Structure 1
Amino acid sequence: MSDPSTESCCLNLKAEFQTSKFSLYHEDPGVFCRSQWQKAERNLIWVLYRWALAAFFAAGVTGSMVQDFNGFQFIYLTDWGFTLCLFTCTYGAVIATIYYFNQSYFAPGHRALQMYWISHMELSMLITTVFWAALSSTMPEVAGELYNLWCHAFNSICMVFDCFVVAYPNRLMHFVYPLCVVLIFMVHSLIYYWAGGTDIDGNRFIYFALDWARPGLAIGFVCASLALICCFSLVAFGIYRLRISMYNCCSKKKEEVPTSKATPKESSPTV
């Protein structure tokens, strides 16, 4: 006899591979404005958390520009990703604040919520993995700097943690959106090379592994990055399913506690 939980898991996974799952429409706008773990419809701690996360990324972006602004920040995928994290977290803080004061403000399928959903992508995990696996060895003098850790480690930690506390679902078919961002960056790097652009040290490439003077290496790096972003989309979906399982498990335990306490009273004789 097959395990019902296994069948349910397979059905959920199978349901993800449908064209409708490419859509950014969701019937419940509240899931984008609440935490999976809050009990009430609105929660001040959740709003404060969202603003704290936005402040964390704002401090990183602002600190980078104030400390060492040279115009080269905008050519790197790291800065693209970190700025996207800032946008996502600030945007999330704004909609959480709006929802806190007016729960009926957002209609189902509201474009503001769709923009938020599409921006919360797996780019930070890709940036962290690619940097520490392929790029950190080419720049050992900066690998241990605080800002570098901020951009290539803390960003992923924060965004993965956020995946465990948000309430909206993750769709496997949404892998196309971070994939498009990576493709746009790769095209940008090629155009930058053709235009004679250099990095901060005068090299004719943005990253050593993305040197279009050696097209074989660059194309291999592009293919590996695209494959990785697909893998991380699967990881993000796994985190979402794990979050739901954890929530259901915790909810079930809370429901069982009063029942287990009431049982002895029911069985005890009355005097």
Structure 2
Amino acid sequence: MVKCFRKGFSLSDLWVSSHDKLSDFYLSAWQRGESPVPLLLVRLALAAVASGILIWSLVVGAGPYWLIYLTNWGLLLVTMMTLSGLLVSCMSLCKPLSDAAELPWYVSMYWLIYNITVSIAIMITLLYWILLFDPEETNDGSAQGDIWLDVATHGINSCITLVEVLAARTPARLLHVYQPLGVGLWYAAFSGVYYAAGGTDGNGYPFIYEILDWRQGGRAGTVVAASTACLIVIYVLVWGTTLCREKLSLATIRTTSHTLPLTPPDPHTQIV
């Protein structure tokens, strides 16, 4: 382990390969015991909902342009997060997992996807309902059926991630902010390259999203910068929520008494 600062910071903290308690990845924050079943049941429900929305989106809108949209990137990430979390819970149920210097690969994979997905999903929800949603379109009878898919892909997606954040004990580190930030910037770069290569959206317009029209480079750059700042703020809020969750669950659920004697008293002398 390479020490970078005198106060205990190490290069391994930048990645998702190590953590003090492996049980933090398969136990619920709201249980006293050591059974992985409670969180497994929650993750099974979340995986079912996420997979159902993904299938719904593919059935309704699958086509050559499906993968160019950030919404669908987020939908894939949410599905991957729930399935990888379910895998961690299943593995902990099938065989006992013990703390080690390095996390198992499937735990590291889940933690990485989790770090990326929660912030990206919330940002997608905010961007859609603040910048892209057009209430006038919902008055069109032909668009009535699409509004429910919009709610699922731009609302329920964030709800799924928030349930995972609040139900699990998955840790959050401020140092990991670069992970969702990297994916967000990667999409911005992709949209620019896609435009430069002559790509269009499903209606033939030379952009993926109108607010990210690279023909107006100044406005597109401002949107990217604002979205980057928003993503950082969201990640910090998720980190703060995680700290509050841990303090509350430790104080109310996972608390232990320190007033009990270490050994039972002798029945004859009553001496501890």
The residue identity in structure 2 corresponding to 1:190 is G
In the alignment, the residues of structure 1 paired with residue 136 and residue 205 of structure 2 have an alpha-carbon distance, to the nearest angstrom, of: 13
One of 40, 58, 62 as aligned partner of 2:51 = 58
The residue identity in structure 2 corresponding to 1:98 is M
Compute the displacement of 1:255 (Å): 4.9
**Hey, which of these two has a bigger chunk of helix by percent?**
1
Partner-residue secondary structure (3-state), 1:113 = helix
Partner-residue secondary structure (3-state), 1:212 = coil
The residue identity in structure 1 corresponding to 2:49 is F
In the alignment, the residues of structure 1 paired with residue 226 and residue 9 of structure 2 have an alpha-carbon distance, to the nearest angstrom, of: 23
The residue identity in structure 1 corresponding to 2:112 is I
Task: State whether structure 2 residue 22 is matched by structure 1 residue 22.
Answer: no
The residue identity in structure 2 corresponding to 1:225 is S
One of 133, 136, 142 as aligned partner of 1:136 = 133
CA contact (8 A) 1:22 1:173 kept: yes
2:214 corresponds to: 212
Partner-residue secondary structure (3-state), 2:203 = coil
Compute the displacement of 1:43 (Å): 3.5
Number of aligned residues? 244
Q: Write the deviation string for residues 118-148 of structure 1: whole angstroms up to 9, x where unpaired.
A: 1113110110111111111398345971110
1:262 corresponds to: none
One of 108, 115, 132 as aligned partner of 2:109 = 115
Compute the displacement of 1:87 (Å): 0.4
Instruction: After superposing the two structures, state which structure 1 stretch, 47-56 or 27-36, moved more.
Output: 27-36
One of 179, 183, 186 as aligned partner of 1:184 = 186
Compute the displacement of 1:168 (Å): 2.2
Partner-residue secondary structure (3-state), 2:128 = helix
Compute the displacement of 1:28 (Å): 2.0
1:152 corresponds to: 154
CA contact (8 A) 2:36 2:89 kept: no
In the alignment, the residues of structure 2 paired with residue 16 and residue 220 of structure 1 have an alpha-carbon distance, to the nearest angstrom, of: 37
In the alignment, the residues of structure 2 paired with residue 105 and residue 17 of structure 1 have an alpha-carbon distance, to the nearest angstrom, of: 24
User: What is the aligned-residue identity percentage?
Assistant: 27
In the alignment, the residues of structure 1 paired with residue 255 and residue 132 of structure 2 have an alpha-carbon distance, to the nearest angstrom, of: 46
The residue identity in structure 2 corresponding to 1:90 is L
The answer for unaligned runs of 5 or more in structure 1 is 1-14, 260-271
Compute the displacement of 1:65 (Å): 1.1
In the alignment, the residues of structure 2 paired with residue 105 and residue 136 of structure 1 have an alpha-carbon distance, to the nearest angstrom, of: 47
The residue identity in structure 1 corresponding to 2:222 is G
One of 40, 43, 65 as aligned partner of 2:36 = 43
In the alignment, the residues of structure 2 paired with residue 19 and residue 60 of structure 1 have an alpha-carbon distance, to the nearest angstrom, of: 38
Partner-residue secondary structure (3-state), 1:168 = coil
Q: Write the deviation string for residues 191-211 of structure 1: whole angstroms up to 9, x where unpaired.
A: 110111111111111111100
Compute the displacement of 1:246 (Å): 1.1
CA contact (8 A) 1:205 1:212 kept: yes
1:265 corresponds to: none
The answer for unaligned runs of 5 or more in structure 2 is 1-6, 261-272
One of 82, 89, 95 as aligned partner of 1:102 = 95
CA contact (8 A) 1:198 1:205 kept: yes
CA contact (8 A) 1:47 1:96 kept: yes
CA contact (8 A) 1:43 1:100 kept: yes
Give the TM-score of the pair, scaled to structure 1: 0.82
2:228 corresponds to: 226
CA contact (8 A) 1:210 1:218 kept: yes
Partner-residue secondary structure (3-state), 2:34 = coil
Partner-residue secondary structure (3-state), 1:217 = helix
The residue identity in structure 2 corresponding to 1:34 is L
CA contact (8 A) 1:127 1:152 kept: yes
Q: Classify 1:51/1:57 alpha carbon distance in 2 versus 1 (closer, same or farther; 3 Å).
A: same
Compute the displacement of 1:21 (Å): 3.6
Partner-residue secondary structure (3-state), 1:234 = helix
The residue identity in structure 1 corresponding to 2:155 is A
Give the TM-score of the pair, scaled to structure 2: 0.82
Q: Write the deviation string for residues 49-92 of structure 1: whole angstroms up to 9, x where unpaired.
A: 21111111100111111122222120011100111000010011
1:249 corresponds to: 251
